[in-house]
Amino acid sequence: MLSELERTAIRAAVERLGDRRAAAAETLAMLQRERGWVSDEALAEAAMVLGMPREELETVATAFELVFRRRVGRHVIMACDSVSCWIKGADSIVALIKERLGIGFGETSADGEFTLLPAGCLGLCEQAPAMTLDGLPYGRLDAKTLDEIFARIGEDKHGDSAH
């Protein structure tokens, strides 16, 4: 079920843009933000609010790399697999991440903590090889910087459980 907040957000977008269908991408982005991913049910209900067949909203959703149609882990890593990162050794970085998390592209770790996805160019080419972690950019990756990044996530998690 869509929450009242979500319905209000969709209606507000429709009103602002003056067209129901035009709010499709924004609606998907909002659902993604609220829920972390877009389920079949959420998509079907949103399509109704937007007044478009659910299949059509589905075609919009699946065209976008950043709209997740499957449940993802608590943290999402998008590793750039585009040319400027690849030419600077992104393969080895991805191998390191896979080794550390024990998962491949498109998979979520068994504890539900991490999902690893490939990304088309993130536009962080000056920082190649690069990735985003929960939407934040990280560049100039090597074994050491990866260690630091994962260590920080570990600390945050520790912090969370203390509350």
Partner 1 sequence: MAYKNYILVCGGTGCESSKSDELFKALHQQAEAQGVKNDVQIVKTGCFGFCEKGPIVKVLPQESFYVEVKPEDAKEIVAEQVVKGREVKRLLYRKGEKADSNVKIEDIEFYQKQFRVVLRNCGVINPENIDEYIAREGYTGLERALFKMKPDDIVNELKVSGLRGRGGAGFPTWLKWDLTKKAPGDVKYVVCNADEGDPGAYMNRSTIEGDPHSLIEAMIICGYTIGARQGYIYIRAEYPLAIERLKIAIRQAKEYGLLGTNILGSGFDFDLEIRLGAGAFVCGEETALLRSLEGNRGMPVPKPPFPAISGLWKKPTVINNVETYVNISVIMSKGAQWYAKIGTEKSRGTKTFALTGKIQNSGLVEVPMGTTLREIIFDIGGGIRGGKKFKGVQTGGPSGGIITAESLDQPISYESLTALGSMMGSGGMIIMDEDDCVVDIAKFYMAFCVDESCGKCAPCRIGTNQMHAILDKISKGQGTEDDLAKLEKIGKAMTKASLCMLGGSAANPTLSTLRHFREEYLEHIRDHKCRAGKCKDLVVYEIDAAKCIGCGLCARKCPVPCIAGEKKQPHVIDQARCIKCGECYKACKFGAVIKK
- Residue 46 engages partner 1 in binding (rule: CB under 8 A): no
Binding mask 130-159 for partner 1 (x = CB under 8 A): x-x--xxxxxx--x----------------
86, exposed or middle or buried, with CB in 10 Å at 0-12, 13-18, 19+?
Answer: middle
In total, the chain counts a number of residues equal to: 163
DSSP 17: H
Other Cβ atoms less than 10 A from the Cβ of 127: the count is 18
Residue 23 CB, shortest distance to partner 1, in Å, is 7
C-alpha 138/C-alpha 11 separation (Å) is: 35
Q: Which of 12, 48, 95, 110 binds partner 1 (CB under 8 A)?
A: 95
Binding site for partner 1 (CB under 8 A): 16-17, 19-26, 28-29, 50, 52, 56, 59-60, 62-67, 82-84, 86-89, 91-93, 95-96, 99, 119-128, 130, 132, 135-140, 143
